[in-house]
């Protein structure tokens, strides 16, 4: 069991370097924010388009199959389960739908000769095309509202998780913090501690692998002791896991203290006295092309993606 290698979400791919890796992190962050906001008040057509765009982007970027296969596999399975569960769940309206026309068309009145001519009504086939209940085989019932809600939620889950994961997959933690610090520069006029916030974010991103490593070591230590959980019972099992959690907290506090001591030794006292510039953020030709595509992306969203 290796959490650092088997965890499918949020890992950075160092090699191979794709064209997504070479884009400016600020441009990629704006793209990410666009994916996370365009589904708001959007129709289901646009939400499905977002899923297709993310999948095509992954394939075009030539990210190794071994990297995205497990990630996308678990995520697609989760979204499919959400789709099925919500589609067969009650739609929440609490109405009993009846068709507007009888199943067998009957002539109810005859047209009087003295009655002025009126335009013929729509054919029964055209009127009966709309069906609120799409599938009804007890106890499974799918309505238009439940299916619409199922598509909306499942595509939203896929977009939220996979777009964030794709950004983390192709952007180093230092690049993420450098991009956030660059975009937050106007907040300095409001006396917002931008450097402190980005430094804290950098340390938190670097601290995540340490947390996973400590959890992995403690789980391995419990497994190697071959504890008989049936003899311990519920109270004994809870006591063991409480001891494990206490040990985990102590180890994490020790790691944090070691990290703080290392920063102090290297002169990290205040942001104004010790600054390290990890990346030279400059927009290149590929970045300007990505910005142009982003403008087109929002144009298409406003044209066809607005919910009516």
Band (pLDDT 50/70/90 cuts) for residue 50 is: very high
The most confident of the ranges 2-6, 65-69, 75-79, 135-139 is 75-79
Same domain, 58 and 15: yes
Same domain, 147 and 239: no
Instruction: State the DSSP string of 77-109.
Output: HHHHHHHHHHHHS--S-------SS-SS-----
Q: Is 123 contained in some domain?
A: no
Q: Is 198 contained in some domain?
A: yes
Same domain, 294 and 154: yes
User: pLDDT tens digit string along 70-120?
Assistant: 777 788 888 999 988 888 887 666 556 555 555 555 544 444 444 555 555
Cα gap 214→202, rounded to integer Å = 19
Same domain, 30 and 173: yes
Q: Which two tokens stand for residue 80?
A: 């499919």
- For tokens 């044209």, what's the residue? 303
- Tell me, letter by letter, the H, E, C secondary structure of 27-42: HHHHHHHHHHHHCCCE
Q: Is 203 contained in some domain?
A: yes
Same domain, 169 and 26: yes
Cα gap 191→180, rounded to integer Å = 16
Same domain, 84 and 201: no
Same domain, 165 and 251: no
Question: Is this prediction's pTM over 0.75?
Answer: no
User: pLDDT tens digit string along 256-289?
Assistant: 888 778 777 777 766 666 555 556 678 888 889 9
- Rounded to 10 degrees, the C-alpha dihedral 250/256/259/263 comes to -140
305, 42 Cβ separation under 8 angstroms? yes
Same domain, 261 and 184: no
Q: Which two tokens stand for residue 181?
A: 């610090």
Q: Is 116 contained in some domain?
A: no
Same domain, 137 and 216: no
Cα gap 207→12, rounded to integer Å = 14
Cα gap 210→216, rounded to integer Å = 10
User: pLDDT tens digit string along 168-184?
Assistant: 888 887 888 888 888 88
Q: Is 11 contained in some domain?
A: yes
Cα gap 130→113, rounded to integer Å = 33
Instruction: Name the percent of the chain lying above pLDDT 70.
Output: 79
Q: Is 119 contained in some domain?
A: no
Q: Can you tell me whether residue 173 is helix, strand or coil? A: helix
Kindly report which listed range (46-55, 123-132, 234-243) carries the lowest average pLDDT score: 123-132
46, 38 Cβ separation under 8 angstroms? yes
- For tokens 């030279």, what's the residue? 280
User: pLDDT tens digit string along 6-15?
Assistant: 555 567 777 8
Q: Can you tell me whether residue 269 is helix, strand or coil? A: coil
Same domain, 185 and 288: yes
82, 154 Cβ separation under 8 angstroms? yes
75, 158 Cβ separation under 8 angstroms? yes
Calculate the average pLDDT of the chain.
Answer: 78
Q: Is 12 contained in some domain?
A: yes
Q: What is the count of structural domains for the chain?
A: 2
71, 78 Cβ separation under 8 angstroms? no
Same domain, 180 and 238: no
Instruction: Name the percent of the chain lying above pLDDT 90.
Output: 13
Q: Which domain holds residue 233?
A: 194-270
- Check residue 2 and give its pLDDT: 54
């Amino acid at each position: 069991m290796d959490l650092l290698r088997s965890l499918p979400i949020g890992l950075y791919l160092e090699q191979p370097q794709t064209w997504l890796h070479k884009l400016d992190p600020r441009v990629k962050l704006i793209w990410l924010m666009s994916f996370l906001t365009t589904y708001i008040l959007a129709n289901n057509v646009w939400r499905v388009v977002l899923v297709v765009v993310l999948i095509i982007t992954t394939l075009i970027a030539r990210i190794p199959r071994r990297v995205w296969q497990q990630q996308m596999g678990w995520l697609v399975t989760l979204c499919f389960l959400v789709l099925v569960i919500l589609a067969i769940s009650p739609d929440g309206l609490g109405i009993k739908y009846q068709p507007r026309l009888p199943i067998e068309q009957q002539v109810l009145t005859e047209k009087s000769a003295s009655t002025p001519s009126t335009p013929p009504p729509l054919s029964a086939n055209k009127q009966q095309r709309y069906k609120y209940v799409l599938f009804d085989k007890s106890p499974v019932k799918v309505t238009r509202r439940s299916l619409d809600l199922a598509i909306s939620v499942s595509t939203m889950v896929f977009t939220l998780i996979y777009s964030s994961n794709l950004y983390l997959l192709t952007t180093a933690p230092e690049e993420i913090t450098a991009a956030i610090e660059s975009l937050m520069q106007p907040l300095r006029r409001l006396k917002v501690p931008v450097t402190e916030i980005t430094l804290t974010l950098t340390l938190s991103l670097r601290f995540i692998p340490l947390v996973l490593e400590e959890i992995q070591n403690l789980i391995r230590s419990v497994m190697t002791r071959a504890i008989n959980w049936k003899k311990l019972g519920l109270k004994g099992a809870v006591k063991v896991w409480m001891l494990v959690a206490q040990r985990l907290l102590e180890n994490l506090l020790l790691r944090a203290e070691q990290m703080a001591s290392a920063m102090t030794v290297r002169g990290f006292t205040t942001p104004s006295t010790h600054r390290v510039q990890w990346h030279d953020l400059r927009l290149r030709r590929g970045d300007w092309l990505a910005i142009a595509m982003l403008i087109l992306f929002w144009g298409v969203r406003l044209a066809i993606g607005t919910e009516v």
